[in-house]
Amino acid sequence: MAKKSKIRKPAFRRVVLKLSGEALQGELGYGVDPKVANAIARQIQEVYDFGVDIACVIGGGNIFRGMQAAKVGMDRSTADYIGMLATLINSMVLQDSLEAMDVPTRVQSAIRIDELVEPYIRRRAIRHLEKRRVVIFASGTGSPYFTTDTAAALRAVEIGADAILKATKVDGVYDSDPVKNKHAQKFDRLSYLDALKNRLEVMDATAFTLCMDNHLPIIVFNLNRYGNIRRVILGETIGTRIS
């Protein structure tokens, strides 16, 4: 008699997936590569099919970087607001890719652009998740001087997420840049305080502190290896867990 295959259960009930804007540009160097957006959407669809509630926060660095513009003389608040608009563009791109795969999706913006997307309303976001919709939080926190990492931490706490999944170009957190230093040491686990003390710069200090105060784990992993979002959701030991 054939053995029944063991059904693997997700390790998380609800997560916030933090994507960089650069993740959408692929090899283009600027803007959005639709093939890359579709590949990311496909990975999200896999997790969605497990029954996990998924929210996303996307940066805007593939289009505009507020801090870099401020360094060359642009007013910092103005630069940050432009960056928020860049995150809105990326959010709509991801929404389109997901809905092409029949994954119901809502974009909620922290700055009001009612003709395009919904305003961010916490209770409505939670209701969307309960109705099995992927929610994409755009425009950061809606205020200048805060990063999209902080926005991801804030939204994760607000919606009661179990973890933040921080998608990057490398397979975890290292003690130095693994691209420049072939002897860089990878951490499998880190405490919030160690990450802050060693200035590992995976997320900014405000985001780290918000996660630490609310006991919200951060899992840093390599997005470029297809299937890693699924592996993290299923509880496989990949990347670096900060808790």
pLDDT per residue as tens digits for the range 104-113: 999 999 999 9
pTM of the model: 0.92
Q: What is the pLDDT of residues 24-78, one digit of tens each?
A: 988 888 889 999 999 999 999 999 999 999 999 999 988 887 777 877 888 999 9
Pairing of strands 134-138, 53-58: parallel
Most confident of the following: 97-101, 224-228, 235-239: 97-101
For helices 205-213 and 148-159, the axis angle rounded to 10 degrees is 10
| C-alpha pair distances (Å), 232 with each of 25, 94, 235, 241 | 23, 20, 5, 10
Indicate whether 3 pLDDT > 60: no
Instruction: Please check whether residue 165 is in contact with residue 219, taking contact to mean a CB–CB distance below 8 angstroms.
Output: yes
- pLDDT value of residue 198: 80
Q: What is the pLDDT of residues 137-174, one digit of tens each?
A: 999 999 999 999 999 999 999 999 999 999 988 888 88
Q: How much of the chain, in percent, has pLDDT values that exceed 90?
A: 68
Indicate whether 201 pLDDT > 80: no
Indicate whether 2 pLDDT > 60: no
DSSP track, 43-100 = HHHHHHTTT-EEEEEE--TTT--HHHHHHTT--HHHHHHHHHHHHHHHHHHHHHHHHT
User: Can you list the domains of the chain with their CATH numbers?
Assistant: 14-242 (3.40.1160.10)
Count other Cβ atoms within 10 Å, centred on residue 151: 27
Nearest CA-CA partner of 151 in 231, 43, 241, 66: 66
| Partners of 178 in the β-ladder | none
pLDDT, averaged across the chain: 91
Among the listed ranges 24-28, 99-103, 134-138, which one has the minimum average pLDDT value? 24-28
Q: Which residue has the higher pLDDT, 205 or 13?
A: 13
Tokens found for residue 157 = 């706490």
Indicate whether 4 pLDDT > 70: no
- pLDDT value of residue 5: 46
Question: Alpha-carbon distance 54 to 152, whole Å?
Answer: 12
